[in-house]
Structure 1
Amino acid sequence: MSIVVDAMNHLFNFPETLEKISFSSSSSRPHQSDENSTIPAAVDILDTPKEYIFYVDVPGLPKSDIQVTVEDENTLVIKSNGKRKREDGEEEGCKYIRLERKTSQKLLRKFRLPDSCNASTITAKCENGVLTVVVEKLPPPPKAKTVEVKVS
């Protein structure tokens, strides 16, 4: 599994500090209903001078079903055990002729954050099927100061 993660990081040039990405493989087909499957949600990560911004696709999931936590002080965890509501036919005699979208969407992604992140100021918002998580960066440590050695 780590070979796949290393290959993905190399292809997409993820910084080493963000390399721990949890992928979950599922052998279920679109028409099958697998209540225990986990989807690997698509994520874009933007590195700005002041913060990291994670954009996660969560179509059809209500924000109340999405959890954003920090484990072990530096692991950002995004998960959901959400269920998407399937629309019923309004008229009698209506029926689905194809069901490809799952109603159960268990989502799990993990990201190891760099030491320069301020985990206590993480914010998250969900709008139009996209979860946006902002992780503020700490200011860089002061540069080393050279002290002049005087002769007495």
Structure 2
Amino acid sequence: MAWLPVLRSRGESDIRTLRDEMDRLFNSFFDEWPVTGLSRRENGGWMPAVDIQETENEYTLRAEIPGMDVKDVEVSLADNVLTLKGEKKVEKEEKKKNYHHVECRYGSFQRTFQLPPNVDDKNVKAECSKGVLTVHLPKSPEA
């Protein structure tokens, strides 16, 4: 299991809000497809960007988690559902700083992905390098 940290800013622009809503709509549309739409958002907050690729032997999920400590990420698999959870923590509180612009987000997130039935759940592996979490989901051998 993996936990990842993220916090949503309260003073977001209308464009950011519109983009988030469009992302939610597209994700809900793709939820109907078992492979191309493996994801489902769990809350309205910020989520790491995720790519899912299929090869002959496996599915590969890559999630962008820059600046996060691996110990703050949880990857779990249960009942053919892969869950990514985490919390991005503020390194230190900076008092009396006069910010002119803030885009960095901190706080918690959770993403779940309904996996296709042909995933070999006994051999799933995860690794993290250069701010990218990679989960290897091998396909079960043909019966």
Q: Same fold (TM over 0.5)?
A: yes
1:5 matched residue in structure 2: 27
Distance 2:25 2:46 in 1: 20
* Match for residue 67 of structure 1 among 62, 74, 77: 74
Equivalent AA in structure 2 for residue 46 of structure 1: Q
Distance 1:77 1:24 in 2: 10
Aligned residues: 120
Q: CA-to-partner distance for each residue in 1:54-106, whole Å, 9 max, x for gaps?
A: 010111110110000012x20000110231425869xxxx834233212x231
Indicate the structure whose relative CO is greater, using CA pairs within 8 Å and at least 6 residues apart.
2
Distance 1:3 1:126 in 2: 29
Rate the CA distance shift 1:130–1:96 in 2: closer, same or farther, 3 A. farther
Runs of 4+ aligned structure 1 residues displaced above 6 Å come to: none
Rate the CA distance shift 1:96–1:63 in 2: closer, same or farther, 3 A. farther
Equivalent AA in structure 2 for residue 120 of structure 1: K
Distance 1:80 1:135 in 2: 20
1:76 matched residue in structure 2: 82
SS in 2 for 1:39: coil
Q: Name stretches of at least 5 consecutive residues in structure 1 with no aligned partner.
A: 27-37, 142-152
Is residue 57 of structure 2 the alignment partner of residue 39 of structure 1? no
Task: Quote the RMSD (CA, aligned, Å).
Answer: 3.0
Rate the CA distance shift 1:100–1:87 in 2: closer, same or farther, 3 A. same
Rate the CA distance shift 1:129–1:84 in 2: closer, same or farther, 3 A. farther
Q: Name stretches of at least 5 consecutive residues in structure 2 with no aligned partner.
A: 1-20
1:25 Cα deviation from its structure 2 partner = 5.8
1:97-116 alignment, distance < 5 Å: 97-98=99-100, 99-102=102-105, 104-116=106-118
Distance 1:50 1:96 in 2: 52
1:48 Cα deviation from its structure 2 partner = 0.8
SS in 1 for 2:41: coil
1:4 Cα deviation from its structure 2 partner = 4.3
Q: CA-to-partner distance for each residue in 1:17-48, whole Å, 9 max, x for gaps?
A: 4635222564xxxxxxxxxxx32211011101
Q: What's the % identity of the aligned pairs? A: 26
1:146 matched residue in structure 2: none
Distance 2:123 2:130 in 1: 23
The structure number with the bigger radius of gyration is 1
